[in-house]
Amino acid sequence: MDIQTTMLTSLRTLAEQHTVETLGDRRDYLGASEIGYCPRKVILEKIHPGEHDLATLLRFQRGHMAEDIIARAFTAAGYSNFERQVEIVLPGDVPLKAHIDFVFTSKVHKIKSILEIKSTSRIPDGPYSSWESQLYIQMGALARQYPEYSIKGAVLTLDLAHGEVAFFNGYEPQETIFNGLMERAGTIWSHYQAMLRGNDLVREGVELEMKTEVSPLCSFCDHIATCPRFETEDVPELENAVAALQELQAREKNMQGEIKKIKKHLLAVVEQKGPIKSGGCFLRKATRSRKHLDIDRLEAFLNESGTFLDEYQENRSFSFLEIRKAKAA
């Protein structure tokens, strides 16, 4: 078994164990983190859970590591007034659970503070709305469980690869937002139940209609291939992302042109003048050598040995995003 397969199977087992130990069977309830996500994705993940790929499994591990790092940091700083993975079952017709990463308690001041940890590959400019929805449900749930306490909430985001951290603080329970999210949870749950009742249709591949919400998270969605929002050739929801990419690419091209121009100018100066100092930097003409494969000589050598260069060349496929101007309809 190769290393990738070993990692894939063992990380899948670990992920399943972790889910069972901390979250239980997610088909039986709605989690606070699910309510802010696209309803179709949430429902289909309960009905057709699918197997995670290595990239997703590594992301899960990165999330657990981030939580462990924060727990160790708070312990080292002398804090012992926190609990981890606090589960709260919300009362009501919809089976709803909130799993909170950290709850800090001050018995003296009667304050309970939620800290939700998010591990990302890039620190966003602000918290995602799905994070905030999760936090409002968690705060509402905690407020109902501990009416004598003031509740506060925050999100701590970690980019482990670049060592960056962002803290989004100052949240407090908002009854109107909480009630709106509870209503949303009710709708998702009733659509989920309808899907389960119509499971025969699902088995036949006929989908009952579910609400869809296009977001940047669609690129991580296992159900994008069958998603009605991406069914037609034209997907207006991605217009902004396409426009942003094209603008950045145009700027990159202009900048590369500018960089080349300035480099050429400065090189011409140091070529004439020799090393100089300017703007707090030393500038000089540097020469490096790099190994170069002489293909003609190699080909001649191989031919003499009765073989050809072509025999050592192989096609390797690679993927990239191709963007071409669409013809006007």
**Under the rule (CB under 6 A), what is the footprint of ligand SF4?**
38, 40-41, 212-214, 217-218, 221, 223-224, 227, 229-230
- Min dist. Cβ of residue 131 to ligand SF4 (A): 16
**Closest distance between ligand SF4 and the C-beta of residue 52, in Å?**
15
How far apart, in Å, are the Cα atoms of 81 and each of 69, 91, 115, 135?
17, 26, 13, 20
Q: How many residues does the chain have?
A: 329
> How far is the CA of 98 from the CAs of 39, 163, 318, in angstroms?
17, 29, 42
Instruction: Give CB contacts under 8 A, 24+ apart, made by 12-21.
Output: 12/51, 12/52, 12/57, 14/61, 15/52, 15/57, 15/60, 18/60, 18/64
Instruction: Specify the residue, 134 or 212, whose C-beta has the smaller distance to ligand SF4.
Output: 212
Q: Shortest approach of ligand SF4 to residue 261 CB, angstroms?
A: 43
Smaller CB distance to ligand SF4: residue 41 or 97? Answer: 41
- The count of other CB atoms within 10 Å of the CB of residue 186 is 15
Least distance (Å) between residue 160 CB and ligand SF4:
25
Which residue, 37 or 171, is less far from ligand SF4 as judged by CB?
37
> Which residues face 110 on adjacent strands?
none
Smallest gap from Cβ 47 to ligand SF4, in A, equals 12
In this complex, which beta carbon is closest to ligand SF4, that of residue 20 or of residue 224? 224
137 and 81 in contact (C-beta within 8 Å)? no
Of 36 and 153, CB closest to ligand SF4: 36
